[in-house]
Amino acid sequence: MEVSIGFSTLIFILFFIVFPGFIARRFYFNGEFSKQITSSISSILNLIYSFFIGIILSLGFILIINFFRKKNVDIDQIIEKFYSNFVIEPSDLSSTNKFKGFSSTVYNGFLPYIGGVYIFAAVIGLFASKMILFFGVDTKWKFFRYGNNWHYLFSGKILKFKHHFSSDFNHKLKVKYTYLDILVSEKGEETTLYSGFFADYDICANDISKLERVYLLKATRYKKTEEGVITRNIPGNLFTIMGDRILNINCTYVCFSEDESKYKSFINRRNILISAQILTTISFIAIAICILFSLRLTDNIYFNKILTFSFFEKIIILFLLNIFIGLLTPFKIDSQNHKINFNGFENYLTKIIIILLFSGFYFYVFPFISNIITNYFN
């Protein structure tokens, strides 16, 4: 019995905690960072990371689902069902009805929860990765930095590291492309220099600090002979250099101009602002429909309390909510001058005052006046 409980507990921890954490980390280390996690998939440290991340994700998933769902997720009931279906005592092995309804229990009881947690973990992991790379958090804080140093070297992001701040390079400029000079070992002690525009690279699966291949565009070969250096343009679209032959690499970064960098930064910030405004607008429309038509899509006591209000009161709530949502994106897009302008402190402060005044009137003044009128006529 002790062995069965221990084994079932291990299976439960793997499926409900470790796997969500591992999925989140797998999607976090995506693309050119994917080998960072596959290289240590069987390590104890990887299991520990996945375990703690899985706990946080599972708790977050349950809190979110319980907020929007009428029937709350009962994790105790899920554990009890898991125990009753997967923990088999030796005395029950001969029972013909032991697995009766087993497939239905798995399909209706476990798959929706497990599938939801796994999808939630994947989305969170991918979203966190994209946000860290987009805002350059990994270049500012080493804690968030990926283990693939070749990414920072070839992309030019290494110049944004703190220990490079004292150099003459303008760190506000963004790298347009990277030009590489690669010294390669030939037979014996001979060496050859290859130059070209950086295209792509592969790293070793077992050791992400080592290059497996480097790909160059418009490659040129420089060969030193007794007669001097012979230069030859290598025909073809893409030239491949094996990593085990590389002796050293020199990177030359060609950056966008200041005007190009400012425009590119404006486009990025504009896209973020437009996305945020679209998201808030859709959220407001969805909430407005639920409130006006009294759709009970959640068991949240505060939201359901609003559904009992009169139509006039609902309009006031939506009006205040609309003003509050406007506080989340208080910027205007100036496409002509390529700027994102703050609406102004006065405008921001005015919205806050309106919210406070309407809230105070509704919760304090209106009930007080209503009480006086009711008592007068009674």
Other CB atoms within 10 Å distance of the CB of residue 23: 23
Report, in angstroms and rounded to the nearest whole number, the Rg of the chain calculated over CA atoms.
30
Its pTM stands at: 0.67
Q: Does residue 353 surpass a pLDDT of 70?
A: yes
CB-CB contact of 216 with 197 (8 Å)? yes
Domain with CATH 2.30.30.100 in the chain: 149-255
Q: What is the mean pLDDT of residues 162-166?
A: 60
Confidence of residue 24 (pLDDT cuts 50, 70, 90): very high
Q: Is the dihedral of CA 112, 115, 119, 125 positive or negative?
A: positive
Q: Which two tokens stand for residue 233?
A: 């343009």
What pLDDT was estimated at residue 90?
Answer: 47
CB-CB contact of 330 with 277 (8 Å)? no
Q: What is the mean pLDDT of residues 219-247?
A: 87
What pLDDT was estimated at residue 195?
Answer: 94
CA atoms within 13 Å, Cβ hemisphere of 259: 1
Please state which of the ranges 33-47, 57-71, 194-208 shows the lowest mean pLDDT.
33-47
Confidence of residue 27 (pLDDT cuts 50, 70, 90): very high
DSSP-assigned letter for residue 331: E
CB-CB contact of 194 with 239 (8 Å)? yes
Q: What mean pLDDT is reported for the chain? A: 78
Per the DSSP assignment, residues forming a β-bridge with 240 are 215
Q: Does residue 286 surpass a pLDDT of 70?
A: yes
Question: Is residue 195 left, alpha or beta, with left meaning phi > 0 and alpha meaning psi from -120 to 50?
Answer: beta
The rounded distance, in Å, linking the Cα atoms of 311 and 126 is 42
Per the DSSP assignment, residues forming a β-bridge with 331 are 342
How much of the chain exceeds pLDDT 70, in percent?
Answer: 74
Q: At 373, is the secondary structure helix, strand, or coil? A: helix
pLDDT digits (tens, 9 = 90+) for 73-94: 666 666 666 666 655 554 454 5
Identify which has the larger pLDDT, 81 or 245.
245
Strands 228-233 and 191-203: unpaired
What pLDDT was estimated at residue 3?
Answer: 41
Q: Does residue 44 surpass a pLDDT of 70?
A: yes
Q: At 11, is the secondary structure helix, strand, or coil? A: helix
What pLDDT was estimated at residue 229?
Answer: 80
CB-CB contact of 248 with 186 (8 Å)? no
Q: One-letter amino acid identity for 9?
A: T
pLDDT digits (tens, 9 = 90+) for 291-301: 888 887 666 67
Identify which has the larger pLDDT, 147 or 81.
147
In 163-227 the beta strands, taken as DSSP E runs, fall at 175-185, 191-203, 211-225
Q: Does residue 1 surpass a pLDDT of 50?
A: no
Q: Which two tokens stand for residue 200?
A: 């792509």
Q: At 263, is the secondary structure helix, strand, or coil? A: helix
Q: What is the mean pLDDT of residues 104-132?
A: 82
The rounded distance, in Å, linking the Cα atoms of 300 and 290 is 13
At 280, which helix (H) or strand (E)? helix 258-292
Please state which of the ranges 4-18, 201-215, 228-242 shows the lowest mean pLDDT.
4-18
The rounded distance, in Å, linking the Cα atoms of 346 and 143 is 39
Q: What is the mean pLDDT of residues 146-161?
A: 88
Q: Is the dihedral of CA 240, 243, 245, 248 positive or negative?
A: positive
What pLDDT was estimated at residue 150?
Answer: 92
DSSP-assigned letter for residue 96: T
Q: What is the mean pLDDT of residues 197-211?
A: 89
Q: Which two tokens stand for residue 105?
A: 């229990």
The rounded distance, in Å, linking the Cα atoms of 270 and 350 is 25
CB-CB contact of 230 with 206 (8 Å)? no
Q: Which two tokens stand for residue 257?
A: 């101009």
Please state which of the ranges 23-32, 44-53, 224-233, 358-367 shows the lowest mean pLDDT.
358-367
Q: What is the mean pLDDT of residues 238-250?
A: 92
Q: Which two tokens stand for residue 117?
A: 């947690």
pLDDT digits (tens, 9 = 90+) for 247-273: 999 999 988 877 777 888 888 888 888
Class of domain 149-255: mainly beta
